[in-house]
């Protein structure tokens, strides 16, 4: 069980684990060997930074000492070695051991005590997962207190804050690995097992996993450690699914994180993970869609195309936006006009991303909604075609080629037909080789589509004949 837990939440890193662990340890070491006289730390993206500390205190804060309850750490018997009546008392004693916190920047410091806590956490996880006995309400409260003591903490300054530079590309930064992860991961696993357990009564658990607890969980999404964000994503998603009373609050709290990211800080490590949770939530929206959900699309999701690091979470953002259009096609023109509003002007890489997203949205767009926005849309496409960036033409033409061909073949309006012919001719003269490639791909797609329709029609005819034969 321990090995399975240790492997949970691991994600592929940009460098080897050894290098990253070394970086993490270096960031956690004391400040004695680093000059901080010229470093300005901006904690704007860290709302939990203590506001009452002076700049000097925030810059050169000492390592947090181990906070320990009264008593000493000692090995306790396993649950299977005591009577059933004694297990709740033993559970509480094990929780108290796990309240000890250690300095993981020094691997040689208190190794025996760290090992005891590790083993105790593994036993607690196994006890919850095995369902060998319901935890008393008092023990549930103490368990959430222990979990809170371990996971809720001030996150270290982001990498760019340590250097005083705001121009570092987040995609090029090395991910920071939390030194205390050997214990932190097990604490997260314990919380996850408690939330998903069939023995957990939500009426009782919601007293401890309350709005304050959820809000502090959301604060931790700004952790630079991707392993921690992965656990947080899974846990918050499970909480959303199990605690219906928390659902409006969670959506509103995520909205607030997005607003602060868009309009204030421009930096947040967990936007992608939060969007992954929302992708699942949006998929479950009932129709007709509530007005609050439409406002969320217009005021939060679409403006998320504006920040500079959009490439880091664009895949998840595009999925959320497309989900809205697929569930309610009437929102298509709202989305398209929103994309045009936040269209990248100087960043061609972002422009290529938006063009790809636009293709997915257009596939779910109906004719009425398309006509409302087609004039400003094609004006923007024309501007993109004139871009000197080599990728734009290669991206745009495959997106619109099928629509151009269908317009020429079957559009009822003569003016639209004439404009389409002119655009088609312009593409042909601009890049004949690319035009021929798109034409070949279009013909192949149309052939496969007709072939599939013929196969379906043949099957229906066979079914109708078989039904008629049985009826006769």
Instruction: Evaluate if residue 386 carries a pLDDT over 90.
Output: no
Length of the chain: 472
Q: What is the mean pLDDT of residues 118-141?
A: 91
Token pair of 156 as six digits: 């270290």
Instruction: Evaluate if residue 270 carries a pLDDT over 90.
Output: yes
What lies within 8 Å, CB to CB, of 349 at 6+ separation is 311
CB 239 within 8 A of CB 279: no
Which pLDDT score, from 0 to 100, does residue 311 have? 94
Q: What is the mean pLDDT of residues 376-404?
A: 74
pLDDT digits (tens, 9 = 90+) for 311-357: 999 999 999 999 999 999 999 999 999 999 999 988 888 988 998 99
Which pLDDT score, from 0 to 100, does residue 346 have? 80
Instruction: Evaluate if residue 262 carries a pLDDT over 80.
Output: yes
Q: How far apart are CA 92 and CA 434, in angstroms?
A: 70
End-to-end CA distance of the chain: 63
CB 325 within 8 A of CB 364: yes
pLDDT band at 33 (very low <50, low <70, confident <90, very high): very low
- Provide the percentage of residues in the chain whose pLDDT is more than 70: 79
Instruction: Evaluate if residue 5 carries a pLDDT over 60.
Output: no
Instruction: Evaluate if residue 195 carries a pLDDT over 60.
Output: yes
pLDDT band at 2 (very low <50, low <70, confident <90, very high): very low
Instruction: Evaluate if residue 103 carries a pLDDT over 90.
Output: no
Q: What is the mean pLDDT of residues 146-161?
A: 85
Instruction: Evaluate if residue 363 carries a pLDDT over 60.
Output: yes
Pick the range with the lowest mean pLDDT from 372-381, 412-421, 436-445. 412-421
Better-scored residue on pLDDT, 163 or 142: 142
Pick the range with the lowest mean pLDDT from 117-131, 285-299, 317-331, 374-388. 374-388
pLDDT digits (tens, 9 = 90+) for 400-440: 788 778 778 877 777 767 777 877 887 788 778 888 888 88
pLDDT band at 15 (very low <50, low <70, confident <90, very high): very low
**SS3 category, 164:** coil
Q: What is the mean pLDDT of residues 14-30?
A: 36
pLDDT band at 17 (very low <50, low <70, confident <90, very high): very low
What lies within 8 Å, CB to CB, of 465 at 6+ separation is none
Residue 363 has a CB neighbour count (10 Å cut-off) of 12
Better-scored residue on pLDDT, 284 or 27: 284
Q: How far apart are CA 143 and CA 73, in angstroms?
A: 17
CB 392 within 8 A of CB 385: yes
Better-scored residue on pLDDT, 112 or 41: 112
Which pLDDT score, from 0 to 100, does residue 213 have? 98
Residue 448 has a CB neighbour count (10 Å cut-off) of 10
Which pLDDT score, from 0 to 100, does residue 23 have? 32
Which pLDDT score, from 0 to 100, does residue 334 have? 95
Pick the range with the lowest mean pLDDT from 267-281, 359-373, 393-407. 393-407
Pick the range with the lowest mean pLDDT from 63-72, 143-152, 219-228, 452-461. 63-72
Which pLDDT score, from 0 to 100, does residue 162 have? 52
Helix spans in 386-431 (H): 390-410, 414-430
Pick the range with the lowest mean pLDDT from 187-191, 432-436, 458-462. 432-436
Q: What is the mean pLDDT of residues 184-188?
A: 97
Better-scored residue on pLDDT, 220 or 18: 220
Q: What is the mean pLDDT of residues 180-206?
A: 95
């Amino acid at each position: 069980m321990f090995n399975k837990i240790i492997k949970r939440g691991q994600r592929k890193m940009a460098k080897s684990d050894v290098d990253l662990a070394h970086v993490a340890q270096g960031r956690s070491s004391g400040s004695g060997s680093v000059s901080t006289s010229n470093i300005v730390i901006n904690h704007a993206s860290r709302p939990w930074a203590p506001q009452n500390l002076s700049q000097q205190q925030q810059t050169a804060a000492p390592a947090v000492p181990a906070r320990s309850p009264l008593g000493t750490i000692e090995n306790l018997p396993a649950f299977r070695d005591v009577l059933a009546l004694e297990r709740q008392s033993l559970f509480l004693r094990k929780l108290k051991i796990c309240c000890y916190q250690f300095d993981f920047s020094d691997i040689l410091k208190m190794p025996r005590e760290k090992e005891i806590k590790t083993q105790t956490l593994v036993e607690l996880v196994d006890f919850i997962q095995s369902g060998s006995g319901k935890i008393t309400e008092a023990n549930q409260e103490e368990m959430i207190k222990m979990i809170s003591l371990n996971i809720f903490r001030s996150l270290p300054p982001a990498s760019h804050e340590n250097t005083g530079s705001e121009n570092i590309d987040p995609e090029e930064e090395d991910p920071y690995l939390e030194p205390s992860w050997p214990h932190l991961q097990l604490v997260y696993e314990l919380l996850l097992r408690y939330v998903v357990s069939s023995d957990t009564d939500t009426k009782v658990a919601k007293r401890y996993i309350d709005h304050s607890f959820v809000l502090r969980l959301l604060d931790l999404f700004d952790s630079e450690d991707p392993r921690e964000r992965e656990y947080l994503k899974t846990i918050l998603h499970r909480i959303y699914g199990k605690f219906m009373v928390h659902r409006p609050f969670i959506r509103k709290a995520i909205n607030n994180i997005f607003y602060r990211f868009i309009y204030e800080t421009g930096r947040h490590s967990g936007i992608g993970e939060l969007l992954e949770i929302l992708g699942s939530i949006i998929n479950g929206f009932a129709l007709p869609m509530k007005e609050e959900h439409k406002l969320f699309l217009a005021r939060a999701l679409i403006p998320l195309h504006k920040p500079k690091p959009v490439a880091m979470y664009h895949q998840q953002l595009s999925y959320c936006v497309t989900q809205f259009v697929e569930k309610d096609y009437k929102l298509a023109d709202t989305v398209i006009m929103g994309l045009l509003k936040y269209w990248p002007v100087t960043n061609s890489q972002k422009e290529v991303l938006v063009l790809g997203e636009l293709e997915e949205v257009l596939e779910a767009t109906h004719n009425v909604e398309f006509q409302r926005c087609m004039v400003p849309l094609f004006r923007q496409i024309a501007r993109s075609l004139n871009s000197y960036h080599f990728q734009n033409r290669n991206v745009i033409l495959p997106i619109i080629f099928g629509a151009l061909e269908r317009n020429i073949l079957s559009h009822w309006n003569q003016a639209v037909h004439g404009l389409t012919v002119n655009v088609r001719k312009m593409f042909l003269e601009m890049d004949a080789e690319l035009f021929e490639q798109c034409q070949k791909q279009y013909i192949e797609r149309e052939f496969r589509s007709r072939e599939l329709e013929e196969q379906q029609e043949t099957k229906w005819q066979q079914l109708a004949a078989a039904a008629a034969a049985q009826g006769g």
